[in-house]
Structure 1
Amino acid sequence: MQTEEAPSSHRHSINSCLEMPLFRAPGKHGGVKAGPRRKRNKEWMGSCRKTDEDGSVLSLTRLCLLSLAENMKEVWVKDYADNYLDHFSFRYIMGPFNLLPGELVEDLTLLLGSRRQMSRAALHLLLVPQLRGLSLEKCPGLVNSALCAHIAARCQALWSLDLSAAQQLSSKVLSETLGCLPVLRSLSLAGTPCDRCVIRTIAQRCRFLRHLDISRCHLLSPAALLPLGGGASFSPSSCPSRSPGCPSTSPSVSSSSPPAPLSPLPLCSLLALDIDFGEQEGDPVAAAAYLLLSLPYLERVAMEGLAQACCLIQEKQFGQTEEFTSREGVPQLWDLWRERKSKDSLRKKREGAVAGDEDEEERTLWEGYGSENEEETSRDEGLSRPQAEEKSREGVLLSDERLILRLKDVKGLSCDSLGSLSRACPDLCSISVNIDDGEDTRGRSQGSLLAAGLQACSGQLQSLTVHYPGPLVELLPVLQVAGSSLVSLTLEGVQTSPHTPLLEVIKACPGLRDLHISAEPPSTPQEAEDEEENQREERDLPQLPHLCSLTLNFSYEHSQMKPVMSWMSLKKVLKCLLAGSPLLEKISLVSLPCPLNCVLQDVLSVLDLDLNLFAEATDSPPMPLARLQRIDMLRTDVEMITVKSIMQRSKRLKNVDVSYCWQISNLEVVDCKMSSKVKVVWL
């Protein structure tokens, strides 16, 4: 092992460099001992014949990464951990991973994280200068101040960084780390101790940031987000912005200079759900309105009070926010609205007059947003600035013009003001709504309010998520309004009964690719049904031919081993979904309040019949369960013989979870694991 040392005054400091050759001759100092040639790993050789998650044959690159992941712990990581990890601190490690392109190092990092094989030593070796993306979401326990110092020193060219759930970091460490990463485009600090000081550092130092996730950061108030829109002026010395070894990317400012205003970040995505509510009740709405007006590129937003903020902007009720803006020392929302409208008008004129690249033109148009001299416009009209402002204000008040926002994906909404949101954002394609059980002052149900609010989005909405503790039947009008264009539907917390029209839900959304329902099971049992009537109905069941992911999860009492079989007609719905969705890849059926084993047996029998009919056909349609990769059947009555039948017919299947299935014994699970390569989980 060779090391390149710094000058004597700084030996073994963070400025030293460690060199690890890819291959070494046998010998001391962690070298590989000479000895008999190891036998080939049969398990690894077998993996060469395996397929990837999508069923395709593994590429040579993927096979090499799998080989690196398998051997990394016993070779490079062991050598580094035994000889260097806790003895020295190196700024750079010149070793085998410096020879790899940054994309491959990123893929290897993700692979080790997903397999739970990442370690502190492995991370040290993988922090190479060419790295552009680093996600530590799968191993937040490894993220500490020492690791952040390595990231700041070695990976200053990072474009993407994910530190979600890294709760061991302080605000100071986060600020110093981010101050050394000036070219970040994407940053996730969800669930970290991020506070106002960190946001100020981001606003000052990460000037190219496009995506920011600060959800579940409980030290943040809505007002703390204002620097993202360039509103809060502050002295660069008010918060630590970089570590001592980080190069400065901004002009030096003396400590005696006045606070420097910032231009808005070019954010396209801002996720800030589940943060502190602020000092007063109206703070979330006022902060959301400020950010919507000051960040012109926003397309994806998750914030409290978002719909109310859009209503405030559309109705121009900016007087409600004057106390908030005065307290926080930011421009009045009326001024922001007028400036935004002026920018929009100018952009439309230039788009009509000049041909060229729209994105480049828009970037030039918005450059220096919020810091232009408004006297230039007043001079053209021969008016003083106060006169021009008054004339502009009067003209806008008499105008019916409405500000059009670019939002496409919004989360954290409530039913009220949803109509204003739809009018302000004509390009909406994804909505997540939280609604309470009950009625409004006019006696209308929350489902009816939501249906009315989504009327403007009918035909264009692709993804809908609804958190609703009321009966699922009340959401049927919503799906009849917006379901025709939906690709993804998620219903959480809904209540069911034996008469819940689940088949009507399926009929209303024929183009679904993802269907996820988390529900309360029926509280009353279902009466016996007429078998002849059931057979007639099964002939005309709806289908979801494009469905790829299906989730039907029911809550349960932990003290009960078996769920109460209270919804027998659900079997018909399950058969409809499993047999009529040949593209299914992921299935989750948890604690079903009806028998599942008989449904799967019926679907498998249909599959066997279809295989016999189309055995010699070259253009036969895909068969049910043929593309299945994962199936979870926790707390159901499924039997092992049925599980084995699914394994035999689903050649792409990799994971089966039958935990707490009372019809399956430990002996059957052991036998299945020995005879199949599918990963089976049973508790």
Structure 2
Amino acid sequence: MSLGRDVASLTSLCLQNIAENMQSTWMTDYTDKNMEDYNFMYIEGPFNQLAGPLVQQLIRILGDSHKLTKSGLHLLLQPHLTELSLRSCAGLVNKAMVQLVTVRCKLLTTLDLHSCSRVPAASLASLMERLPRLLKLGLADTHCDSLVLAAIGIHCRRLQELDISRCKKILPSSLLSLVYDVKSGQFCCQMMRVLLLQDVTPPGDPEHWLYALCFVLLALPSLEQLANPSLAQAMRLLYLRTLRPHGFPPGNFPSLVEVAKTRAGRGGKCDGPVRTPDTSLRLKKLEDLDEEDLSTLGSLCQGLEEVAISLSNQTKDSWSLVQWPNLTHLTLHCPEHPPRSLEDIVSNIHPISKSLRLLSLQNLLWHHQESVSTLLTWCPNLQSFQSHFTVPHQTAIDDAAELPPWPGDPLPLLHLHTFSLLLEIEDALPPIFQHKLGGFLVSLLKGCPKLESLSLCGVPAPLDGVFEVVYGSPQPQPLQRLREVSLCSSNITQWGASLILRAKNDLRTLDLSHCKDVTCRDHHQLQEKARRDKRSVSITWQ
């Protein structure tokens, strides 16, 4: 184990020890003397000497283990904290606790109050007024409303990330209050990069919500991500330049046309049409974009780096990814049945393949064995590959009695650290398909020196032979960084699993669940081997 991991483990052990003895050792005197005093600034004791990140880690450990009490949280709210998450102890956070944060933790740049639903909106607004240094704020599942968002807009001028997902009191006008101060006539939160509005669909006129999203997109020049199910619909309005809705926005707020002109740096009155540059966006991440919108909405944000595309059940020949040369994260998934074929879309990935760092292909048909290996050869800089394929019935080849030897050349993926392949087989695969799949895995594993996580679920290829060939390779030793291996429902025996355990690596978990050729006795023998070799490996089997 590296020195860095040793230090991290020692730190974790020390904090765990403090957590175990928190009630009996650290809190008795504090509870007796200071519990009812909310407003003192400094607390003499061990935790004002502990680095802020360690205090935060201790709060998380205590919260996750349900050992944190009200008095314990009082003791840990230290003035030197710059980051504070109360998500793990949300049930303890009430109006009085928020007041304590207001008094003591004035240097906060990051605050997460996720699920702190016992705090009224007025208290949240008061807290926002006292934390002008905030860069990142999480208020998901709270009573956040227009009052709170207006306070954020006026007082948290440096804010870059805001999560108000699942907040039921947010209205279309609430978003406007976040980005525009009607009293001063100035735009707010101009440094905002990320705004998360997951599962937020206010009651009332749905069109007003769409135009509120348009207002936000135009008002925040630095916005890189806006997560909301209605985002694509709002972007369509911007693309079509439909910026003159009836009855929106409410009084004292500028019109969408005026906001667009302000964004473009063109002041003054003008009744002419808003030009395309006025509505171009700096979004770098789009989630769940429909395939049919790629050619239109994609043109609004040409600096896109991450996108998840929902494929229809019919082949589309018109879309392309060429417009996004900076794309690093690509997810393609088919939510409908019958699913689309990998072979139908693989050519669409080619133009941007060299820039990809993450590629996720979900619920696609996989017809030809070579398709995945061909695709991966186009992606030399890939760091994570995740896939879920259905392999349809394959016609057996009669003259395939003698299987060709597996290729000896590695598939060079020098940066890949995560590989996941989940297969659903509609019918028994012919030997030639299984054999070629095994050869592909041999080439892959030989060419991934940085691989840390390997998941092969439902893979019928002979994995015993795959690992025999891989670990039989000459120096340098393969897969030395391997930490997590899942072979759930795959074709492997105790022998193949023992090869992984015997190899030089940093293995922590080995999942052999539902592997029909691994018995209960095999499982015990593998566990015993790990104990004899003094390896801390969790081996799962059932």
Q: Please indicate the TM-score interval, normalised by the length of the shorter structure.
A: 0.7 to 0.9
Cα deviation, 1:150-186, whole Å, max 9, x if unaligned, reads: 4334323211122335556554554454444332110
Amino acid at match of 1:508: W
- Establish whether residue 575 from structure 1 lines up as the match of residue 434 from structure 2: no
- Residue matched to 2:472: 608
Q: In structure 2, what residue type is equivalent to 1:574?
A: L
Kindly state the Cα deviation for residue 77 of structure 1 after the two structures are TM-superposed: 3.8
Quote the residue 1:411 is aligned against: 287
| Residue 535 in structure 1 maps to residue 404 in structure 2 | yes
CA–CA distance in structure 1, aligned partners of residues 311 and 326 of structure 2: 22
Q: Distance in 2 between matches of 1:654 and 1:680?
A: 9
Give the direction of change, closer, same or farther, for the CA distance of 1:504–1:317 in structure 2 (3 Å limit): same
Partner of 1:442: none
The equivalent of 2:524 in structure 1 is: 667
Contact conserved, 2:19 with 2:62, CA < 8 A, in 1?
A: no
Name the structure 2 match of 1:324.
248
- Partner of residue 76, structure 2: 126
- The secondary structure found in structure 2 opposite 1:437 is coil
After alignment, is 158-167 or 132-141 more displaced?
A: 132-141
Root-mean-square deviation (CA), in Å?
3.7
Q: What is the identity, as a one-letter code, of the residue corresponding to 2:328? A: Q
- Cα 1:507/1:405, change in 2 over 3 Å: same
Instruction: Please state if 1:548 is matched with 2:412.
Output: no
Q: Does residue 279 of the first structure (1) align with residue 226 of the second (2)?
A: no
Structure 1 position 510 matched with structure 2 position 380: yes
In structure 2, the partner of 1:207 is 157
Query: CA separation of 1:507/1:216 partners in 2, compared to 1, >3 Å: closer, same or farther?
Result: farther
Structure 1 residues 167 and 655, CA gap change in structure 2 (3 angstroms): farther
Is 1:490 aligned with 2:360?
A: yes
How many angstroms does 1:515 deviate by?
A: 0.9
- Cα shift at 1:128: 1.0
* Cα contact 2:55–2:76 (8 A) shared by 1: yes
Structure 1 residue 432: deviation in Å?
Answer: 2.3
- When normalised by structure 1's length, the TM-score is 0.67
Distance 2:255 2:363 in 1: 40
The amino acid across from 2:228 in the alignment is: M
Mapped contact 1:311–1:421 kept (Cα < 8 A): yes
Partner of 1:337: 260
Residues 59-138 of structure 1: pairs in structure 2 closer than 5 A: 62=8, 65-80=11-26, 88-91=35-38, 93-109=43-59, 112=61, 116=65, 119-120=68-69, 123-137=73-87
Aligned counterpart, 1:19: none
Letter in 2 for 1:589: L
Q: Is the 8 A contact 1:429 1:461 kept in 2?
A: yes
Q: Which residue of 2 aligns with 1:27?
A: none
TM-score w.r.t. structure 2 length?
0.82
Cα offsets for 1:371-418 (capped at 9, x unmatched): xxx6xxxxxxxxxxxxx624xx44x76x77555433223334323443
Would the alpha carbon gap of residues 418 and 204 (structure 1) be closer, same or farther in structure 2, given more than 3 Å must change? same
Match of 2:269 in 1: 389
Q: Secondary structure at the match of 1:105?
A: helix
The 4+ residue runs of structure 1 with deviation greater than 6 A are none
Distance 1:288-1:64 versus aligned 2 partners, 3 A rule: same
Contact 1:305 1:412 in 2 (8 A): no
Report deviation, 1:325: 2.0
Q: Quick one: which of 636, 657, 673 aligns to 2:511?
A: 657
Q: How far apart in 2 are the matches of 1:64 and 1:282?
A: 55
Equivalent-residue separation in structure 1 for 2:117 and 2:394 (angstroms): 46
Counterpart in the other structure of 1:679: 538
Q: Quote the Cα distance in structure 1 between the aligned partners of 2:444 and 2:27.
A: 51
Deviations 1:471-505 (A, max 9, x none): 24233132123323211112234344576932333
Q: CA deviation at 1:640?
A: 4.0
- Give the whole-Å Cα distance in 2 for the aligned partners of 1:90 and 1:681: 50
Distance 1:408 1:107, change over 3 A: same
State how many pairs are aligned: 523
Cα distance in 1, alignment partners of residues 499 and 119 from structure 2: 49
1:644 aligns with 2:489: no
> 1:67/1:635 Cα in 2 relative to 1: closer, same or farther (>3 Å)?
same
Amino acid at match of 2:350: Q
Q: Percent identity?
A: 25
User: 2 CA distance for matches of 1:531 and 1:577?
Assistant: 24
SS at match of 2:249: helix
**In the TM superposition, what are the counterparts of 1:294-443 in structure 2 within 5 Å?**
294-319=219-244, 321-326=245-250, 330-342=253-265, 389-390=269-270, 393-394=271-272, 402-438=278-314
SS in 1 for 2:152: helix
In structure 2, list runs of 5 or more residues that go unmatched. Answer: none
Query: Quick one: distance in 1 between partners of 2:280 and 2:173?
Result: 24
Alignment of 1:211-226 (within 5 A): 211-226=161-176
Q: Where does the alignment leave 5 or more consecutive residues of structure 1 unmatched?
A: 1-50, 234-258, 344-373, 375-387, 439-444, 557-562, 615-619
SS in structure 1 opposite 2:391? coil
**1:587-626, Cα deviation, whole Å (9 max, x unpaired):** 2333x1424xx3254234332331xxx3xxxxx5xx4321
Q: Does 1:629 align with 2:483?
A: yes
1:668 to 1:276, Cα distance in 2 relative to 1, 3 A: farther
In the TM superposition, what is the alpha-carbon distance from 1:650 to its structure 2 partner? 3.8
Partners of 1:307 and 1:418 within 8 A in 2: no
- Give the CA deviation at 1:290: 0.9
C-alpha contact (below 8 Å) 1:550/1:586 kept by paired residues: yes
Q: What is the alpha-carbon distance in structure 1 between the residues aligned to residue 376 and residue 134 of structure 2?
A: 42
Matches within 5 A, 1:142-153: 147-153=97-103
Which residue, out of 258, 277, 290, partners 2:215?
290
In the TM superposition, what is the alpha-carbon distance from 1:223 to its structure 2 partner?
4.7
Shift, 1:64, TM fit: 5.4
